[in-house]
């Protein structure tokens, strides 16, 4: 199930992502900055299901060798941290399976219960890329939810409910990916009050949250000028 969108006719920032996508971790500071500096611009989350079903990935030496150069590039461009517990802990644990479905259902549950989907996504990314925690595991997800102030049993019940609708959510997200002209994750775009969609070239703002917010401010002129 998709998060509840703002009322029709509103300006929205759409974000198609995956919790395990390193380049989504790269844009996390931009997302955080826009949420803080432009609170009038609602963020609508679309989990893309990068590692689901037959695409679920066990940790292997080949996977570690594939992701580490990308992580190094992300760190160089953005300053985003990749922890020792991730690089030489999680990425060496061949008992871990990367599955995007549980953390996506978890952030949708956090959104449904308390409007905290974006907070949960950011916390799950930190847990994965910095702390080396297995965010596909239910106990880890519940611990993160409780850390954010959600009640554990209510969160687990809502997560189960959201999990049942994930196929529809992923299908809807891929539809947004196409409408926004994206080819992968992350993809961001603006939905204007008249219904038009504008894609956002986020790559050139990596590591530059202030420039990113200034760019959004220009693109969203009427809304931000009325603050």
Mean pLDDT across the stretch 211-215?
A: 96
Identify the pLDDT of residue 81.
98
- Who contacts 162 (Cβ-Cβ below 8 Å, separation ≥6)? 1, 105, 106, 108, 109, 112, 169
Identify the pLDDT of residue 5.
39
203, pLDDT greater than 80: yes
Over residues 128-144, the pLDDT tens digits come to 999 999 999 999 999 99
Helix (H, G, I), strand (E, B) or coil at 213: helix
- Do 75 and 45 contact (CB within 8 A), yes or no? no
What's the whole-number average pLDDT of the chain?
Answer: 93
Identify the pLDDT of residue 99.
98
Structure tokens at 183: 């080819």
- According to DSSP, the residues that pair with 197 across neighbouring strands are 191
d(CA 107, CA 158): 10
Instruction: Report the alpha-carbon angle 103-104-106, nearest 5.
Output: 60
Structure tokens at 81: 């941290």
d(CA 29, CA 24): 10
- Do 185 and 16 contact (CB within 8 A), yes or no? yes
Question: Ramachandran region of residue 14, left (φ > 0), alpha (ψ -120 to 50) or beta?
Answer: beta
- According to DSSP, the residues that pair with 52 across neighbouring strands are none
Residue position matching structure tokens 């380049």? 23
CB neighbour class for 78 (10 Å; exposed up to 12, middle 13-18, buried from 19): buried
Over residues 23-77, the pLDDT tens digits come to 999 999 999 999 999 999 999 999 999 999 999 999 999 999 999 999 999 999 9
Identify the pLDDT of residue 6.
40
Over residues 56-67, the pLDDT tens digits come to 999 999 999 999
- Do 150 and 113 contact (CB within 8 A), yes or no? yes
Provide CATH code, domain 12-225: 3.40.30.10
Identify the pLDDT of residue 60.
98
Identify the pLDDT of residue 2.
35
Which of 37, 35, 39 minimizes the C-alpha distance to 15?
A: 35
């Amino acid at each position: 199930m998709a998060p509840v969108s703002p009322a029709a006719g509103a300006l929205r920032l759409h974000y198609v992502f995956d919790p395990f996508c390193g380049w989504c971790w790269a844009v996390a500071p931009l997302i955080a900055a826009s949420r803080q500096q432009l609170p009038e611009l609602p963020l609508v989350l679309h989990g893309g299901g990068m590692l689901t079903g037959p695409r679920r990935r066990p940790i292997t030496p080949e996977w570690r060798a594939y992701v580490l150069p990308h992580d190094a590039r992300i760190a160089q461009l953005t300053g985003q941290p990749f922890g020792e517990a991730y690089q030489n802990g999680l990425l060496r644990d061949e008992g871990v399976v990367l599955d995007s479905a549980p953390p996506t259902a978890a952030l949708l549950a956090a959104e449904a219960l308390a409007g905290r989907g974006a907070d949960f996504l950011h916390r799950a990314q930190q847990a994965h890329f910095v702390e080396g925690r297995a965010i596909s595991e239910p106990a880890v997800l519940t611990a993160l939810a409780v850390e954010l102030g959600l009640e554990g049993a209510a969160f687990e019940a809502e997560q189960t409910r959201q999990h049942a609708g994930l196929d529809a959510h992923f299908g809807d997200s891929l539809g947004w990916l196409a409408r926004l002209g994206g080819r992968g994750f992350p993809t961001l775009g603006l939905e204007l009050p008249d219904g038009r969609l504008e894609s956002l070239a986020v790559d050139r703002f990596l590591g530059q949250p202030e420039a990113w917010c200034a760019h959004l401010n220009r693109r969203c002129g009427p809304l931000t000028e009325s603050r």
